């Protein structure tokens, strides 16, 4: 059997900034999926959305469907090799946190403050957080740059909220990272 060609459609930029409640974030992301994908669906069609601009001159994308045979609102955060997070699994991100904690325990507590702001949705704009914690971007030599790490985690939190809406959502990942 010959595999069908895949068509990748790039949607519009999804921006989640400022203070925004979890349910508002989920609504905005899911409604974007519905608006873009409602007329263009079917086997062999995948969607890719830019979600963040990165300090390395690239964009962070999410893509859907998120995995094998998943056709709900699940998505996957596209983690590139140059992000220095492996494939972006929870374990790889936790490992990056552990390395940062070991490298610079004092600045690690600042990283946790920024992570908590994202977790609590009190500030969803990572660039604004990095302005508030100005040296966080250069505080660690190991692993991912601060903006990349926090932006990937932000979108993983959003993905967890969508997939596990009635459960803990982002709490499982957040607690694992806090314990790093």
Residue ranges covered by each domain of the chain: 7-178
Report the mean per-residue pLDDT for the chain.
Answer: 90
132 band by pLDDT with thresholds 50, 70 and 90: very high
DSSP-assigned states of every residue in 46-93 = EEEEEEEE-TTS-EEEEEES-STT--SS--EEE--GGGSSTT--HHHH
Condensed to tens digits (0 to 9), the pLDDT of residues 68-83 reads: 555 578 899 999 999 9
pTM for the model stands at 0.92
Residue 85: is its pLDDT beyond 50?
A: yes
Residue 50: is its pLDDT beyond 50?
A: yes
pLDDT computed for residue 69 by the predictor: 57
């Amino acid at each position: 059997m010959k595999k069908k060609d895949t068509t990748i459609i790039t949607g519009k930029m999804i921006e989640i900034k400022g203070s925004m409640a979890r349910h508002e974030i989920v609504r905005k992301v899911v409604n974007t999926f519905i608006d873009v994908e409602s007329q263009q669906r079917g086997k062999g069609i995948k969607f890719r959305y830019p979600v963040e601009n990165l300090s390395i001159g690239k964009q962070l994308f999410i893509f859907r469907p998120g995995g094998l045979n998943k056709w709900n609102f699940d998505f996957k955060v596209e983690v590139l090799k140059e992000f220095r997070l492996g494939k972006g699994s929870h374990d790889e991100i936790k490992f990056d946190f552990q390395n940062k904690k070991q490298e610079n325990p004092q600045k690690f507590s600042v990283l946790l403050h920024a992570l908590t702001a994202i977790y609590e949705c009190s500030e969803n704009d990572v660039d604004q957080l990095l302005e508030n914690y100005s040296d966080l971007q250069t505080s660690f030599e190991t692993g991912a740059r601060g903006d990349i790490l926090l932006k990937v985690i932000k979108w993983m939190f959003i993905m967890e909220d969508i997939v596990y809406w009635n459960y803990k959502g982002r709490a499982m990942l957040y607690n694992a990272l806090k314990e790093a």
